[in-house]
């Protein structure tokens, strides 16, 4: 069996991170995934990332605590989270971000992302939206705008562009009718 509950233990201070492997790829995949994210400075647990950076990869071990059916992984993970209260788990509810508090900077970035901004200096332009429309195969720019999550000022520009295109088409049609 490859599924169950594991812990990533810091050999220096004995603090740990608890997780579950319910995926068909099991424990080896989860440990590989954690190591990859930690090596890339991208792990979701900033606490685990900080101590990984401080002590290095050799200071950590991956330990299988319990083998179980994938359907029971979250239940057992929650039991162990409640009992052990691991130092490096940010979320206290297994399989859920409940209880996690974003930093002010993270909240700003999330807000910008929902408005279609990568950051304060990079914004989607009308040209970008037209490219996105073509790539997605939308016949209508309105459909692209609906799913692009543009900042309000970009929506105004896109609507004006649609109006200008409509006006140009009407003018072209009138000229053709006169000829």
Q: How many angstroms separate the first and last alpha carbons of the chain?
A: 78
User: Per the structure block, which two tokens stand in for 136?
Assistant: 């997605």
Condensed to tens digits (0 to 9), the pLDDT of residues 107-147 reads 777 777 766 544 444 455 555 666 666 666 667 666 666 66
Q: Where are the alpha helices (DSSP H) in 14-65?
A: 26-39, 46-55
Residue numbers in the chain where pLDDT is lower than 50: 117-122
The 3-class SS string of 127-141 reads HHHHHHHHHHCCCCH
Is the overall model pTM greater than 0.85, yes or no? no
CATH architecture of 4-84: 3-Layer(aba) Sandwich (3.40)
Report in angstroms the alpha-carbon separations of 18 from 25, 29, 148.
18, 15, 37
Name the segment(s) of the chain with CATH classification 3.40.1440.10. Answer: 4-84
């Amino acid at each position: 069996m490859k599924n169950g509950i594991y812990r990533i233990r810091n050999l220096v201070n004995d603090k740990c991170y608890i997780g579950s492997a319910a995926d068909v790829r099991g424990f080896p995949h989860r440990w590989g995934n954690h190591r990859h994210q930690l090596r890339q400075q991208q792990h979701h647990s900033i606490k685990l990332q900080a101590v990984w950076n401080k002590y290095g990869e050799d200071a950590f071990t991956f330990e299988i605590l319990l083998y179980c059916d994938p359907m029971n992984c979250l239940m057992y993970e929650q039991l162990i989270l409640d009992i052990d209260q691991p130092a490096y788990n940010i979320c206290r509810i297994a399989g859920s971000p409940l209880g996690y508090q974003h930093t002010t900077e993270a909240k700003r970035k999330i807000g910008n992302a929902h408005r279609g901004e990568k950051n304060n200096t990079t914004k989607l332009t009308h040209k970008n939206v037209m490219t996105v429309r073509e790539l997605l195969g939308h016949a209508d720019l309105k459909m692209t705008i609906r799913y692009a999550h543009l900042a309000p000022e970009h929506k105004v520009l896109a609507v004006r562009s649609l109006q200008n295109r409509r006006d140009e088409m009407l003018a072209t049609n009138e000229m053709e009718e006169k000829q």
